[in-house]
Structure formats: C-alpha cells, structure tokens
Amino acid sequence: MTSVTFIGTANPGFAPYAMEELRRRFPGSSVSGLSGETFRFSPGVSDTEEWLKEIRRDEPVFLRHLFPLDAEVPLTDDPGSTADAIVAYARTLADKVNGRKVAVQVRKAVNSPFPFTSAEARDIAAGVVREAGGEPVLQDADWIVSLYASPKTLLFGCSEPRNNLSDWPGGAIRFRREEGLLSRAAFKLLEAERAFRLPLDRFNNALDLGAAPGGWSSVLLDRGLKVTAVDPAEMDPSLKGHPRLHHLKKNAAELSFPPGTFDLLVCDMSWDPHRTCRLVSALSPALSAGGSGIITLKLMYRKPFQTLRELTEAYSEHFDVRRVKQLFHNREEVTMWVRRKP
C-alpha cells in the first residue's frame, strides 16, 4: 500500500505543536497548515496500515483527529457546483457503503466560502449513501465519510472510525450537560474516561486533589465511588451531606494517608505542573499498587515538549505513565493517565 495524505486536527492554538510532534516522530513526513487548527500530513511511509496501527497504539499528544485525503476539488461559493462535487465523491463510495452504517461528518474553516451549513452538506452526501444501500447514522458507524471545506478546496475522505482517532467530527466530542454536573471541568474527566478506556465505575475509593467546587467529585460520586475531596475552598452546596463524600478543607500538602487507601487519584489543579507533580508524587503511597491517577498538566511555558518530557520523567519515579493526551476539553493543558508502580 502506498503512502497517503491525511487531514489532521488539533485543539485551537495547538496545530503548530501537533505538526511539530509529527515531524519529530516521523522524520520522513511532510506537514503543512491548512486553516486554524487543521493541517495536511503525509507520513512518508509505504505501509499505511502499519502506520495507522502505530498511531492507534501510541497516539500523539496533540493530534486530536485525522482522516485520509481521498479527493480534493476547488471550492467556490456556488451551491450548484459544490453540491455536484459532494455527490460525485459520495458516488465513488457506492460499493463500500452498501449494507453498512455510514456517518457523514462535515466541517469548514471560518474563512471558507463553503455555501452550505454542515447539516445541509451532510444531507446531500447522506442521500447518495442511502441510494447506494447504506444507512446514514450519526454514531456507531462502520465508515465515516469526512468533508472539510478549507478556504480554497473541498477535501474528502472515507475511513473506519478507529483510524480517525475519534468518531466525532474533528474529534470535538460533545457531552450532554447531564443533571448533577457542576462545571464544565467535569467534561474533562468524562472525556478522559472515554479516551483512556478507563471505566470510572470499576474503582472504589478516590482521592480528588484540588476538588472544589466539585466537578470531578460529582462525576465520581455518580459512578458510585467513595470520594475524599481535598480543597480549602467550599464544595458546591448540592454535594453537602453526600454519604460517600468526605471533604477535607485543607491543602493537599498538609495531608498524608495510610498506604493503599485509594485505588484512584484525580487532580485538576490550576498550579504549576511541576508543583503538582511533587504533590501527587508525595501522596503516591496512598494509592494502591496498580491504582490509577488522572492528572491535568497545565502548559504554562513556551516549550511544551520540554515540559512534558520533564514531567513524564518525574512522574515515572513513582508511576507507570500510560497516556498523555490533549483532550478536546483541555485548553492550555493536557491530561495524563498513570498507574502506581508496585
């Protein structure tokens, strides 16, 4: 199989870091920006399937989403010619989509002359999929048809969801604001649970550092865990008196716990990441061997790769670092999953 070109997406402001990470990891690759958070990437390999397996096994930190570039056509603001281009590409997929569930995902650059809304363009492609015997769906698809409208061209691709790194358009995962969620920060923990394939309800006893006002604690309580929340600030009144919540109104640096007290540690503090690392490491004996930690690392410096390298080395003294990923709900930060060493 010959090498293909991919369209990649990162968080706003982090496309340069995603591109640089790919350049460093794949020296023969070619990377160029398209618009905003989206860029073009050619890995420069002969076996694309093996490359995709490696990407799935060890995802880059800043790459949020990708799809293979199958076709590219000039873009104007004319609805007729644009619709014709969408129909023409969708028809090339007739054999592939017949009898399969197909999600059509449409995104456009802010400065693109694309004449349709995402929903309108999706309906055009979905109609062709339906005519070919496919079943248009929003999720749980066998194939994802991707359309990205850049400032000058329409870019098309079709791939299995696992090879997109996310089955959400551009990796922009959206959660419903479930009853009981106290803050937007809760979405970070929900996304980490999904991204790391780490069901929170398999744990029993959690330590939440910097817990107030309780966004992460509320998620853990909803999953049935006992939670020790550490923060000098008050927790949300809705959590007061919860039978499985113990709030310690202290700084985490003042505390110690018996060895193996918890099987999960979570931390979403807005501190210098090196300070957070020292604090979490000092409390590591309180986590059982093999217990997990989910930690937000604030990228407060201009050299994120150096920062992540230093933090990974520091955390590795007490933990096995399993994944580091910039989630969609992260901003100037990334999320790390670790496991306590025996």
Active site residues: 298
- CA-angle at 63, arms to 105 and 57, nearest 5°: 100
- Largest Cα–Cα distance of the chain, in whole Å? 69
How far CA 149 is from CA of 70, 76, 102, in Å, comes to 14, 10, 20
Strand partners, 74: 153
Q: What are phi and psi of 247, to 5 degrees?
A: -100, 120
Crossing angle of helices 304-315/273-282, nearest 10°? 10
Instruction: Assign 97 to helix, strand or coil.
Output: helix
**H helix runs in the chain, sequence order:** 15-25, 48-57, 79-91, 94-97, 118-131, 185-195, 215-222, 273-282, 304-315
Short-list 57, 17, 56, 55, CA closest to 39: 17
Residue 279 three-state SS: helix
